Amino acid sequence: MDKVTLSIIDTLKEIIVGQVGELVYPAGKKSPDVFQQTAAYIKFLPITACIEFMGACYDEQPFDTSRLDKPNIVETRFNTALKNLFDKAYHPFAKADNAYYFYMNLRNPMIHQLRPHAGIAFTTRKESLEDKTEHLKVINNSEKDLLILVLEDFYDDLRIAAERLIRFFENGTLTNKKGENAFLTIFDPKSA
């Protein structure tokens, strides 16, 4: 197999728009198709990780900056992506005083425990239509209030944010020079 090295822009296109998109919309299905998802739960994990990655693309710090170098770098990057790349509906979830603060209630528990905080519930577009729930809306459960995240809507918003970030690099809005830098080396079995 030949090595393929992707720039940040290519990584956004190939991995987030491409491969994560294929996880959510397999076999030629496209947004806003309604269908039975397979392995829906685990598809929330790459979406969550991609948010932080896009925040790292957005800032001026080197990608390898760690918490030892800059104590709040992870939280800052995650929230930067939500505030600067996502629709304004996500902005409240980038604030520490929000009951569903995504960094503490989605990102950290998903990355470290493979589950969101108890106040966040995952569903799919098909289930959401059946249950009459909406993405980013709170429902009153018999036990507690739950913030609903709909897989396809969450991915669609991630894709839009990634496309916005690509435009920012391409039109010079972002001047951190990360966009064209070599970033990810992968093996492409199609080129073998």
The C-alpha atoms of residue 145 and residue 53 are separated, in whole angstroms, by: 29
pLDDT at 192: 57
pLDDT digits 0-9 by tens, 12-29: 999 999 999 999 999 889
Domain ranges across the chain? 2-117+152-191
- Residue 6 DSSP class: E
- What mean pLDDT is reported for the chain? 93
pLDDT at 1: 34
pLDDT at 141: 79
pLDDT at 190: 67
pLDDT digits 0-9 by tens, 57-111: 999 998 999 888 888 999 999 999 999 999 999 999 999 999 999 999 999 999 9
Give, in degrees to the nearest 5, the angle at Cα 47 between 113 and 175: 120
Percentage above 90 pLDDT, the chain: 77
Structure tokens at 110: 């998903």
The C-alpha atoms of residue 171 and residue 181 are separated, in whole angstroms, by: 16
The C-alpha atoms of residue 4 and residue 37 are separated, in whole angstroms, by: 31
The C-alpha atoms of residue 23 and residue 47 are separated, in whole angstroms, by: 10
How far from the centroid of its chain's Cα atoms is residue 42's Cα?
13
